Structure 1
Amino acid sequence: MSTTADEPTRAPSAEGARGLPDGTGAHARVVLDGAGLDVGGVVRLADHDAVPDVPAEALARVRHAWQAAERLAARGRLYGRGTGVGAHRQIAVDEADLAGHGLRLLRSHAGGAGAVLPARQARAMLAVRTNQLLAGGSGIHPDFVEALAEALRLGVHPAITEYGSVGTGDLTALAQTGLALLGEHPWLGAPSDASGPGAEHPRAGSPRGVDPYEDGSPIPVPRRPRYGTAAPRPQAAPQPQAIAQPQSGTTAPRPQPAPRPRAAPAAGAGLPAPVMLRPGDALALLSSSALTLGQAALACHDLTVLLRAAHAVAALSLLAVSGSTEAYAAPVHAVRPYPGPARAAAEVRRLLGLPDRPPPGGGRRVQDPYGFRAFPQVHGAALDAAERLRHVVETEINCPTENPLIVPDDDTAYHHGGFYAAPLGLALDAADLALLGTAQLSAARLAGLGRADLTGLPAFLAEGPAGSSGTMIMEYTAHSALAELRASASPASAGHTVLSHGLEEAAGFASQAARQALRAVDAYRTVLACELVVAVRALRLSGTTPDMPAFTVASAVLPPQTEDRPLTPDISEATDLLPHLAHL
């Protein structure tokens, strides 16, 4: 684990956590040392539920690599330090213009477009890039690393636009970050009415970044409005107000900037001091897919929480239709020993209080529809895909992927393509496809819960005058979200492009895959919430009160009324329940 604390970390209150104490209070810490950052640590930093802890030895490693890069540059040209970049790689840069070249590189590459990304995603990028640089392969000056960590501590982040990456490095996002570090691009912060760091952007779909099963502490049932993963696309005007900036530390003349996104600073928060740009720093900062990795870490964390919650939701649905438990028996999964399916079946057995070998013939039917019978196989594949994604993300965020790679002990620089994010893009695409499969079964179970022949209850669980609709519309809502998930599951890694005069003749499009994963996770959250609402209603109408913690928790929160009425509030309540169900 990468998290430490001065005091034990407590679960958030039922009203929603308000972040860490300000000023001199105790803070949870996430160690950034270039080697031990995990997905949970990225999430805590992204949500400002922790502050970075940078060990002195890690900063010393950065300085050692910077000194090695200085020696290597003095002996001969290094890509991006004494040369242009991309198709201009053979063009020599005048030695007297090296600092100016770096500044022009940042300015010219800060050409992103689209919506300004949510704070959570920008802070995840800062966390990943800081940790990568602390691995000591970039040759960047330590001042940049300290400034990135300071931005995380202060609760500010650069204004980052959505479009600009194709999976071979997040050039535009990191160029915008570099200009913010120099004082040429705005920092955004928490609103002035925030009561503490972290109050600006609560976690999507689960309380304030706590990962169920990670620290063992209970998650209270949330009673608050839902916050979606994907922030609404901002309108062209008005833009947030800018934090005032000092002049850049560079000697190059500063042009008058065009109007930029602006926001008020967080109460009591400062800004990182502008950093002096040195030769080689610009490319060293840009050579990374840190934004894509940060978004992937957020998607992986939220996906893991939802997949855990799905065990409880599927168990409630199985109970509501008096489904057969034979499909969940341990011997069934022992003969086909994939980890995910075995785990999914075991979780359902545990939640229902079943033995490893449930007695045969316990269900209402000889065989149930696939939504109930094939849940372990389909959902298990999603569990395995999520674990694979976590492995790839946690490998990448602890790797020095910069080009050229500086190896101080060898006094050598290696030019390479390690920034090409093919493993990440493939892992994200696989997770989306696997998620689509289990989401389709969730929608199928929802439909089954409305069938009188499966439940013995009124069609669509309707009560009241003849012709009442009951939960009929829930299928439409779930399938609308499912359509978004299906669109997001189209493999981004199948894309192709040729750039920079043909020098870069392929791209992995992991950046697109990360954005698709965030949308897919948000859509799955809605599908699962719809199933939960309908499953709880079916169990209530059956006249039984299952001795099952998931039902006890859900029935205490979801409204009991069964007359025809708007069900949007029920879906919102169910959405907020999912992280709690994941912890049961």
Structure 2
Amino acid sequence: MLLDGAALTAEQVRAVARDGAAVRVHPDGVTRANAAHQAVQALGATGPVYGRTTGVGANRLVAVEYESSSGPVVLGPEGSVISREVALHPPARHDAHGLRVLRSHAGGAGPLLDPISVRAMLTVRLNQLAAGGSGVEPGLLAGLEMALNHGLTPPVHAFGGIGTGDLPALAVTALCLLGEVPWRGGTMEPVPFDPADALAFISSNAGSIGEAALACADLSELLRASTVTTALAFLACDGNSEAYEAVVHLARPHPGQQTVAARLRDLLAGQALKPARIQDPYSYRAVPQVHGPALDAVVALERTLGIELNAPAENPLVDPVGNRVLHNANFHTAYLGLSLDAMRNALYQTAALSVARLSLLLEPAFTGLPPFLAAGPPGSSGLMILEYVAHSALGALRLNATPTALATAVVSRGVEEHAPFSSQAARNSLDAVASYRVVLAAELVAAVRALRMRGTPPVDGPLADAYAYAAERLSGRLDDRPLDQDVEDAAALLPALAAY
């Protein structure tokens, strides 16, 4: 996969992170990175550059590029030297400061992240560097490319980012490149790394953005599969398709609502529909109105990620064309955090409707079948436990849906007095998607079983193909038995169902 710093998508991040797709940096990305590197080296020799010639955070006014007889030089608001001591001479290298930044910031804690999430981070950071605003030397791009293609990941811990830079995760990545910290999954030769590039390399939210991209790609797929699963459940409960007619949704034309209704009409076209009620419960009647907002939220998240994945959002930003270094706050990820919060809230509503449909599938009044779709002696439990499983997953999703934007933090001696906690929003989103996958899998197991017991599979068209695909791969046993494998098998079918 060619990373050019301009066109990376969430699906492509997932392809590299989860499927192991190989990466290569576009030559234009290397050229941009080199131009920024040359510019910042020249600018750093003539004026202050945050993190390169100064300390970081509350130490931003402490110069590190000069040594004096009585300690560090202190800079004034405009970068002028305001200490009493006169700077004597510039040292030959700035290794000590850059290495201190990396070592001191590689302080994550908690469990190690799974390699998929870390590979997503590396993919995003490599693409960002190819956008050419960081000023790091181009050799670092080659190092990240090599690590990804050799299946290596740094030991990244879960806790450390608060939405203003995934500093611990990227600092330990830099130490792996330097050879100070071992990679997970193998070894590679240390990468030449000018420690003066330390802050420029770690000034990124690549970890949060990577996890958000994984969640977005997965959820987009699951929402497409959910419409197919809903249509199967609808047939098993003799639903009334009047609620999906085009004139209804033209009267209230939200984009997602119209898309879901149109998809349901396509799936149900040609089926032998025999509505059992003048109007259905909300779990069928309101599918477009509830699934639609989730679809719109994912579209909004995709739009946000389209910018974040390809943005040179470092602080400071190197502008080689204007020959400037611009100190800024593009590292603040309020857009991402708020988009993720909105997506999880919409997803909870969609999942709650799926759980309600599952309950109706287990109810004889809606299917004409025995309670819980049981087929054994009187008192058999059938799929009874799946209601509990689905509600358990829904409960977890409810917790994950809590808006992270309600939190904030004041750190670094009050200099950095706001944080969006988008790192937590991304992690919560991945967890929420996993919970939704369980909910949807339970509904699919019940819908296929109900149609099988009724002997009324869909006829013709994509819905018939989807049913045949699922029924062939899900167990046809109707006796009381453990159902964990059924749910796991159904979850594995969802990506394929999304394509019908």
TM-score, with length taken from structure 2: 0.92
Question: Matched residues in 2 for 1:278 and 1:449: separation?
Answer: 61
Per-residue CA deviations over 1:13-34 (Å, capped at 9, x if unaligned) read: xxxxxxxxxxxxxxxxx11111
**The residue matched to 1:394 in structure 2 has which SS?**
helix
Alignment of 1:365-376 (within 5 A): 365-376=277-288
Q: 2:416 aligns with which of 487, 494, 504?
A: 504
User: How much has 1:424 moved relative to structure 2?
Assistant: 0.3
Question: Matched residues in 1 for 2:368 and 2:15: separation?
Answer: 46
Gaps spanning 5+ residues in structure 2: where? 67-89
Per-residue CA deviations over 1:214-233 (Å, capped at 9, x if unaligned) read: xxxxxxxxxxxxxxxxxxxx
Give 1:66's aligned residue: 37
Question: Matched residues in 1 for 2:456 and 2:5: separation?
Answer: 54
Give 1:476's aligned residue: 388
| Alignment size in residue pairs | 471
User: How much has 1:278 moved relative to structure 2?
Assistant: 4.0
Give 2:151's aligned residue: 155
Give 2:322's aligned residue: 410
User: How much has 1:550 moved relative to structure 2?
Assistant: 1.8
Give 2:80's aligned residue: none
User: How much has 1:354 moved relative to structure 2?
Assistant: 5.0
Q: 2:339 aligns with which of 427, 432, 453?
A: 427
Which protein has the bigger helix share? 2
Q: 1:302 aligns with which of 203, 211, 218?
A: 218
Question: Matched residues in 2 for 1:544 and 1:125: separation?
Answer: 47
Give 1:321's aligned residue: 237
**The residue matched to 2:45 in structure 1 has which SS?**
helix
Question: Matched residues in 2 for 1:67 and 1:425: separation?
Answer: 34
User: How much has 1:407 moved relative to structure 2?
Assistant: 0.3
Per-residue CA deviations over 1:477-513 (Å, capped at 9, x if unaligned) read: 0000111111000001111111011111110000000
Q: Is the 8 A contact 1:48 1:155 kept in 2?
A: no
**AA partner of residue 191 (structure 2):** P
User: How much has 1:437 moved relative to structure 2?
Assistant: 0.5
Moved more, 537-546 or 284-293: 537-546
Give me the CA root mean square deviation: 1.4
Q: Is the 8 A contact 1:147 1:272 kept in 2?
A: no
Give 1:276's aligned residue: 193
Question: Matched residues in 1 for 2:491 and 2:429: separation?
Answer: 18
Q: 1:384 aligns with which of 296, 318, 325?
A: 296
Question: Matched residues in 1 for 2:279 and 2:193: separation?
Answer: 69
Per-residue CA deviations over 1:123-148 (Å, capped at 9, x if unaligned) read: 11111001101111111111111111
Question: Matched residues in 2 for 1:549 and 1:465: separation?
Answer: 33
Give 1:178's aligned residue: 174
**The residue matched to 1:162 in structure 2 has which SS?**
strand
2:124 equivalent to 1:128: yes
**The residue matched to 1:51 in structure 2 has which SS?**
coil
User: How much has 1:313 moved relative to structure 2?
Assistant: 0.5
Which has the greater radius of gyration?
2
Question: Matched residues in 1 for 2:189 and 2:218: separation?
Answer: 30
Q: 1:168 aligns with which of 164, 174, 177?
A: 164
**The residue matched to 1:187 in structure 2 has which SS?**
coil
Question: Matched residues in 1 for 2:28 and 2:480: separation?
Answer: 64
Q: Percent of aligned positions with the same letter in both sequences?
A: 50
**The residue matched to 2:413 in structure 1 has which SS?**
helix
User: How much has 1:273 moved relative to structure 2?
Assistant: 3.4
2:309 equivalent to 1:338: no
Per-residue CA deviations over 1:47-87 (Å, capped at 9, x if unaligned) read: 25321121222211111101110111111111111111101
Q: 1:457 aligns with which of 369, 385, 400?
A: 369
Q: 1:107 aligns with which of 100, 103, 108?
A: 103
Question: Matched residues in 1 for 2:333 and 2:210: separation?
Answer: 13
Gaps spanning 5+ residues in structure 1: where? 1-29, 190-264
Alignment of 1:215-234 (within 5 A): none
Question: Matched residues in 2 for 1:186 and 1:336: separation?
Answer: 57
**The residue matched to 1:275 in structure 2 has which SS?**
coil
**AA partner of residue 99 (structure 2):** L
Per-residue CA deviations over 1:331-377 (Å, capped at 9, x if unaligned) read: 1111211111111111122222259xx9xx95110110110110111
